[in-house]
């Protein structure tokens, strides 16, 4: 068995040799974020997957993210170091049940969060991420009625912001629904100067005490630009690695869960990816994300629609 520095130098060598890039989500461990070619939130990662010159994309994240990369770059080999890296939120919305939901609520535009399987994406009119959910919904004509899936917390957040006619699928993320309001308020009592920053997948009581709500990228930007110096962070703690890198002088306190085996709020799926698995995956070029052409074409349309709207929003800013 190699030690970590050996794995890292081998990964770097193989990346060059194979013209491969590593895309890592903010919830990955710090060592993985540090060897990645790009670290980002779901939106940034899909934008990067859609536009790069690599032959191989190794995705350090969860399966729906790697699938999104494959959908956007079907000609490339997309690798995921552990196929068990799923997502409780994506799992909460199964194709068969969602088809029935759509049938029971006809005539609505289907907006799905990127945290879904390719099958759900293929059933959707447009995809959104936590960074652009409000703008995507606002981009739809006001008379359009909406189905929003699968996260009920993000859905309610978007509903509140937009006031649109929305029916929301009842799914949640097991990490974000577990934050303890009581423990957060206790931390705030002990650190009155701290600002509470919250991912929109958190439940309403936690969102209600937030000083700022945003996607992982938005939370990172906030801690970088804000004048404060202490933050209670209610999202997966992997993001704190980047916060510390961007503003090392500030203090970041991970918000505790109500209950969890690790006593922390780590996403067990995200944390299945390790440096050793990345090494083995890049070496063997397995496991690889494989999807039928038909599914790729059907799922690509609503993702491309989101990317086009997001690109337009950036140009208009």
Interactions with ligand SF4, residue window 287-306 (CB under 6 A)? none
Binding-site size for ligand SF4 (CB under 6 A) equals 13
The answer to whether residue 130 forms part of the interface with ligand 13P (CB under 6 A) is yes
Distance CA 178, CA 286 (A): 34
What is the smallest separation between the CB atom of 199 and ligand SF4, expressed in angstroms? 9
The answer to whether residue 113 forms part of the interface with ligand SF4 (CB under 6 A) is no
Tell how strand 212-213 and strand 230-234 pair up: unpaired
Compute the distance between CA of residue 177 and CA of residue 146 in angstroms, rounded to an integer.
23
> Phi-psi bin for 19: left (phi > 0), alpha (psi -120 to 50), beta?
left
Measured from the CB of residue 116, what is the shortest distance to ligand SF4 in angstroms? 10
Kindly report the number of other CB atoms within 10 A of residue 92's CB atom. Answer: 20
Among 158, 270, 281, 299, binds ligand SF4 (CB under 6 A): 270
Of the two residues 86 and 287, which places its CB atom closer to ligand 13P in the complex?
86
Q: How far is CA 36 from CA 61, 171, 175, 228, in A?
A: 11, 31, 24, 29
Among 20, 54, 69, 89, binds ligand SF4 (CB under 6 A): 89
| Structure token pair of residue 142 | 């006001």
- Rg for the chain, CA atoms, rounded: 19
Tell me the window of 92-100, 129-137, 251-259, 284-292 that interacts with ligand 13P (CB under 6 A). Answer: 129-137
**What is the rounded distance in angstroms from the CA atom of residue 14 to the CA atom of residue 16?**
5
Residue 77's binding partner out of ligand SF4, ligand 13P, none, with CB under 5 to 8 Å set by partner kind: none
Residue 113 contact among ligand 13P, ligand SF4, none, beta carbon within 5 to 8 Å by kind: none
What mask, x for binding ligand SF4 by CB under 6 A, covers residues 156 to 195? -----------------xxxx-------------------
Q: Toward ligand SF4, which CB reaches closer, 179 or 222?
A: 179
Q: Is residue 21 within 8 Å of residue 56, measured between CB atoms?
A: yes
Q: How many helices (H) and strands (E) does the chain have?
A: 15, 12
Among 177, 178, 201, 266, binds ligand 13P (CB under 6 A): 201
Residues 229-248 that bind ligand SF4 (CB under 6 A): 236
What does the block give as tokens for 58? 């190794």
Q: Which residues bind ligand SF4 (CB under 6 A)?
A: 62, 87-89, 115, 173-176, 236, 267, 269-270
């Amino acid at each position: 068995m190699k030690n970590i520095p050996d794995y890292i130098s081998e990964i770097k060598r193989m990346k060059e040799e194979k013209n491969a890039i590593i895309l890592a989500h903010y919830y990955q461990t710090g060592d993985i974020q540090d060897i990645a070619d790009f670290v980002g939130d779901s939106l940034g990662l899909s934008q990067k997957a859609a536009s790069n010159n690599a032959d191989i994309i190794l995705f350090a994240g969860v399966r729906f993210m790697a699938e999104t990369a494959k959908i956007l770059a079907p000609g490339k080999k997309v690798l995921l170091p552990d196929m068990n890296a799923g997502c409780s939120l994506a799992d909460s919305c199964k194709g068969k049940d969602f088809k029935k939901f759509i049938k029971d609520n006809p005539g609505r535009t289907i907006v799905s969060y990127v945290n879904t399987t390719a099958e759900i994406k293929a059933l959707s009119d447009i995809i959104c991420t936590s960074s652009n959910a409000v703008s995507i919904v606002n981009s739809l004509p006001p008379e359009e009625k909406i189905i929003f899936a699968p996260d009920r917390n993000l859905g309610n957040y978007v509903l509140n912001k937009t006031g649109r006619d929305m029916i929301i699928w009842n799914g949640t993320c097991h990490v974000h629904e577990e934050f303890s309001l009581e423990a957060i308020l206790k931390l705030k009592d002990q650190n009155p100067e701290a600002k509470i920053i919250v991912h929109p997948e958190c439940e309403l009581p936690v969102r209600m005490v937030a000083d700022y709500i945003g996607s992982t990228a938005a939370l990172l930007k906030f801690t970088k630009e804000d004048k404060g110096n202490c933050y209670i962070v209610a999202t997966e703690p992997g993001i704190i690695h980047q916060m510390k890198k961007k503003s090392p002088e500030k203090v970041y306190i991970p918000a505790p869960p109500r209950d969890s085996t690790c006593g922390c709020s780590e996403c067990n799926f995200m944390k299945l990816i390790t440096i050793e698995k990345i090494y083995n995956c890049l070496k063997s070029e397995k496991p690889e994300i494989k999807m039928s052409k038909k599914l790729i074409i059907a799922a690509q349309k609503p993702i491309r629609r989101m990317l086009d709207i997001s690109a337009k929003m950036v140009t208009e800013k």
